[in-house]
Amino acid sequence: MAAEPAFKVIFEHEGVFLHPSSDEEIEPDFLVSGTLRILEKDAEIVVEYRPLEDGVDPSNMLCAGKDSSSVVEWAQCPGDRPQSQQLLEAQLSYETEWDMVNAVSFRKRRSSNMEGSLNSSHERSRLAFAFSVSDLRSVTVREEGWTFIILQLKDSSTPLPHLHFHQGGSRAFLDSLRRFALLTESPSDHTCLLVSTPNKALSQSFENLLDDNNFGLVHKFKRDPYVTTLGGFSKVTNYLFDALRGMEEQQQRPPEEVADLLGEVIPGLEINQQEEPGFEVITRIDLGTRPEVSRKSPLTADDWARHQDADGRMKDVPDLKHAVFKGGLCHALRKEAWKFLLGYYPWESTHEERKTLQREKTDEYFRMKLQWKSVSEEQERRNSRLRDYRSLIEKDVNRTDRTNRFYEGIDNPGLVLLHDILMTYCMYDFDLGYVQGMSDLLSPILYVMENEVEAFWCFVAFMDQMHENFEEQMQGMKTQLIQLSSLLRLLDLAFWNYLESQDSGYLYFCFRWLLIRFKRELSFVDVLRLWEVMWTGLPCENFHLLVCCAILDSEKQKIMEENYGFNEILKHINELSMKLDIEEILQKAEGICLQIRSCKDLPRPVATILGFDVESRRAGSTDCGSAVTFGAARREVGVSNGHSRESSCEQSGRGAFVS
């Protein structure tokens, strides 16, 4: 039996060229063609380049003309720019990857004797190289009629030759590299991508979370946040604990070291370790007694009808939203009301205007659906992105809410609609496409709407709020975790300090809550109630963060009295799933909001997070006391749900924990 290979090929592309310079022993007019690969070898990701046996004579290289229909020669004049390897004409098309169509013809260079052949082989072997992705510092992408890439290692004493992609493939290489490393644009050079990789031990600890995906932790978070956060953390608490605190040394690591490790767990998470003097005021604020609040009965169809005029326009909308916030909606009303709450229907629209909108949106939806439905098998074989989306969607659809009667069983029409809406969304948002976890956001909406078109457009509106949660850099998740830490520190410094002492101060165990808005923490019916309450936008911005605070407030006594450590905290939070009382949580979260609003000296960063109107607070509204004087200049503030809202805080008012 043949032995299994000691490595796994992740990416492979032939026809990647080196352009030797005059200070190398290889003839300067002799291009070196080779194969670039990314390998998984001995639990490490390695980039490898190997030259082919035969070089390429540039005098026989052709490239596409600017209109992609003509071909011009690659030329060099002896003594005139001998090393620049420039085209006779500067030729750049809109898609640089397509500039070299039928780009390269190979012509073997003849050696006068066997010794010449051996020397050439030896020279080529010297140009082979391999390195671990963890040793890579940066990747610079340049254009010169084609794409070439400059790789720089952390050990700057080991320069690597530039890789020239005359036959395309640079994008595929970078996409494959992003599966194992975070590539972020350098502030000083937009062509330079800075590389950061996960801690090796931490990454290996997550390797066995999924049978079908062994690409490392960062890849899982980027490509599969749903599985990684929903099923992963509970299985690897010991590994995380050891990575953060060490097997033998149990003393607390320096904050900056813990921040670096957590930055690897959640790509893009950057923690500001420098305490700002102004932020310390939070530690000394007395928030006063938390007011008691009560919930009300769900809004009925009769209540809804009383807020509608003869033409169908909704009236007294603020009162209507307040009623929804306080009690939610009866289920029979959700199909109509959710369209308004999500913004699919304008509140001021009439019956006739909504009918017209529905016709237009139906046409638009089916035009987009036709785009992917009409793709032939032959086309799809050449569209890896579409294939990947379809594969992920099919896998997710088959495991989304299958215990719900709307989706249970084989060949369920609800599953077909779920699949088709998600595929059509890929046509609507090419940049984002599909990321695992999005099916969890669509499922309740489709369940309520029972209509493919209406469910799609309501899902689009919800994704406008949630978009940043699923973007590659996960900026939304980064912002929310930092904001949540800031709020908890204000509300209960003792509890926050306890979590900090257990290496849990960054609240990464709340990742799942925030990613898909508590979808896996609550029963299906409770999810419907929570979402419609949050969609009212009341009683403040980022109310879902106060929902997190309410849950943690209910659990803090047990966590602290039982002296839970890192492992136990993580396990306890995971086991709260399906055990939470949504009405109790909403009641407590509203009380927390009122408690914070009544604070006379509310820190500016917290006011920014919750979007409190500073001018109305200065005027002394009944809901809140007098406030400190903030800058009056108004600006747009991007909040974690993806919307831009106005706030009257100065830029300088942000605290240490606010992104």
Give whole-number Cα distances, 622 to 522, 538, 618, in Å.
34, 16, 11
Tell whether the model's pLDDT for residue 577 goes beyond 90. Answer: yes
The listed range with the strongest mean pLDDT (99-113, 168-182, 343-357) is 343-357
Give whole-number Cα distances, 300 to 272, 328, 330, 458, 583, in Å.
47, 9, 6, 21, 18
Neighbours of 419 (CB within 10 A): 18
CA angle, corner 62, sides to 60 and 63, nearest 5? 160
Tell whether the model's pLDDT for residue 76 goes beyond 90. Answer: no
Amino acid code (one letter) for 324 = V
DSSP 309-345: -TTS-B-SHHHHHHHHHHH-B-HHHHHHHHHHHTTSS
Question: How many whole angstroms separate alpha carbon 539 and alpha carbon 569?
Answer: 30
Tell whether the model's pLDDT for residue 207 goes beyond 80. Answer: no
Question: How many whole angstroms separate alpha carbon 499 and alpha carbon 7?
Answer: 41
Which of 106-120, 327-341, 608-622 is the least confident region? 106-120
Which of 6-20, 107-121, 500-514 is the least confident region? 107-121
Tell whether the model's pLDDT for residue 121 goes beyond 70. Answer: no
Q: How confident is the model at residue 119 (pLDDT cuts 50, 70, 90)?
A: low
Tell whether the model's pLDDT for residue 284 goes beyond 70. Answer: no
pLDDT digits (tens, 9 = 90+) for 214-245: 334 444 444 444 445 544 443 333 334 444 44
- The pLDDT of residue 15 is 83
Q: Where are the domains of the chain?
A: 8-53+122-196, 200-247, 269-330+473-620, 350-469
Better-scored residue on pLDDT, 21 or 316: 316
Token digits of residue 376: 């032939």
- The pLDDT of residue 122 is 56
Token digits of residue 33: 């063609």
Amino acid code (one letter) for 90 = A
- The pLDDT of residue 229 is 53
Please provide residue 159's backbone torsions phi and psi, each rounded to the nearest 5 degrees.
Answer: -70, 145
Please provide residue 500's backbone torsions phi and psi, each rounded to the nearest 5 degrees.
Answer: -60, -40
CATH of 350-469, one of 1.10.8.270, 1.10.150.240, 2.40.30.10, 2.130.10.10: 1.10.8.270
Which of 190-194, 198-202, 437-441, 499-503 is the least confident region? 198-202
The alpha carbon of residue 528 and the mean position of all alpha carbons in its chain are separated, in whole angstroms, by 24
Token digits of residue 393: 């969607």
- Nearest-CA neighbor of 244 among 634, 566, 631, 623? 566
* Max intra-chain CA distance, the chain: 97
DSSP 542-575: THHHHHHHHHHHHHHHHHHHTT--HHHHHHHHHT
Better-scored residue on pLDDT, 370 or 15: 370
- The pLDDT of residue 198 is 57
Tell whether the model's pLDDT for residue 636 goes beyond 70. Answer: no
- The pLDDT of residue 562 is 95
| Fold of domain 8-53+122-196 | PH-domain like (2.30.29)
Cα dihedral 182/187/188/191 (nearest 10): 50
Return the SS3 of 540. Answer: coil
Q: Tell me the pTM.
A: 0.58
**Which long-range contacts does 174-178 make (Cβ < 8 Å, 24+ apart)?**
174/139, 174/141, 176/10, 176/11, 176/38, 177/38, 177/47, 177/133, 177/139, 178/222, 178/472
Question: How many whole angstroms separate alpha carbon 626 and alpha carbon 646?
Answer: 20
Please provide residue 183's backbone torsions phi and psi, each rounded to the nearest 5 degrees.
Answer: -105, 115
Q: Residue 3: is it exposed, middle or buried by C-beta count within 10 angstroms (0-12/13-18/19+)?
A: exposed
Superfamily of structural domain 269-330+473-620: Ypt/Rab-GAP domain of gyp1p, domain 3 (1.10.472.80)
Tell me the average pLDDT of the chain.
75
Tell whether the model's pLDDT for residue 387 goes beyond 70. Answer: yes
- The pLDDT of residue 175 is 86
Q: Which parts of 408-474 fold into alpha helices (H)?
A: 413-428, 438-449, 452-470
The listed range with the strongest mean pLDDT (25-34, 410-419, 614-623) is 410-419
- Nearest-CA neighbor of 400 among 363, 432, 442? 442
The alpha carbon of residue 459 and the mean position of all alpha carbons in its chain are separated, in whole angstroms, by 18
